[in-house]
Amino acid sequence: MQDITVPVVFCFFNRQDRIMSVFERIKKARPKYVYLLSDGPRADVAGERERIEGIRKEIERLIDWTDNVEIDYASENMGCGPRLATGIQSALSKYGKAMILEDDCLPANSFFPYQQYLLNRYEKDEKIACVSGTYFLKKKNTPLAYGFTHFPQIWGWGTWARAWEGYSYTMEDWSDDFLFQIEKEKSIPCFAREAWRRCFEGIRKEIKRNPRFTWDIQFWFNCLRKRTLSIFPYRNQVTNIGYVKDATHTTCWWFSDKPQYETDWNMEVFGGIDLEYERWLQDRFYGGHFTWAGFYYSVLLWLRIRERRIRAKYFSR
């Protein structure tokens, strides 16, 4: 088994069954450096402090293959957005690069050598900002190991401190000028400027209303503004197992539970920017050009969010 020397950042909270499923894959990979990133308990949830403390101790006990363990635990609940933003920043400041797994992102065993190779290979290439482990489409009959897209994916991913530089949780330096410039340059053929403008303006308003909201869209903003690329595998390496009723953000099942493929990588065989996949991501994942499938999924997502709000209002007291 290949020695994994690139640090693994494991982000977890309180869903023990999913946490342990992901952790077992990490344990099997036996990375030399482990960074444990955990949010704190919510004051209004009975028994959560004891539950989280128990999970933390159990994970620490099970790390028996290395002494290089960094612990980054919040004593009180910060919320998903601030906790991951500050934790990732801290880990990258310490290590310079890392692969990052949240507790609902179940990696294939081959995810770890895939990430390590690419994080080392492209470490000095400032055009590359992210190594994603996710590929949403079916496994292609292709010899290609990986390709590139302008759109980053963060369900099991890796990055470098240089790519994180400029990240702003509140997006204080927001301006849509660069969106017009991308459209003018036609550097991203499928680019839906208005969809991205709505996305970024919406997240700024939501962060003002709820400062604990999310962290990842701000990273997308940073990547698009810098005109960087993301790497993706042509054989999916990560399955999102977070689609449950108590999920914080994973409310769309059609991107979850995708099959993953254990792969013997030939990293010397790779493609360029995959325009077909890029268009699919723009239309289906990020929203943009109208499609009936996109409309259908948007309606389902809206209904799911409405259901969660009604449950929270009337049945969670």
**pLDDT attached to residue 301:** 47
CATH 1.10.40.50, applies to 8-309: no
pLDDT of residue 288: 55
Q: What predicted TM-score, i.e. pTM, was given to this entire model?
A: 0.87
As averages over each run of 10 residues, the pLDDT of the chain (317 residues) reads: 94 95 98 98 95 98 98 96 97 98 96 98 98 90 94 95 97 92 92 93 91 92 96 96 55 65 93 94 72 45 49 45
The domain locations on the chain are 8-309
Q: Assign 3-state DSSP to the chain and report helix, strand, coil percentages, each to 5.
A: 40, 15, 40
- The set of long-range contacts for 282-286, using a CB threshold of 8 Å and a minimum separation of 24, is 282/151, 282/190, 282/191, 282/192, 282/195, 283/190, 283/192, 284/136, 285/136, 285/151, 285/255, 286/151, 286/192, 286/195, 286/196, 286/199
pLDDT for 213: 87
Query: How confident is the model at residue 255, as a pLDDT?
Result: 59
- CA 264 to mean position of chain CA atoms: 23
Q: What is the pLDDT of residue 139?
A: 77
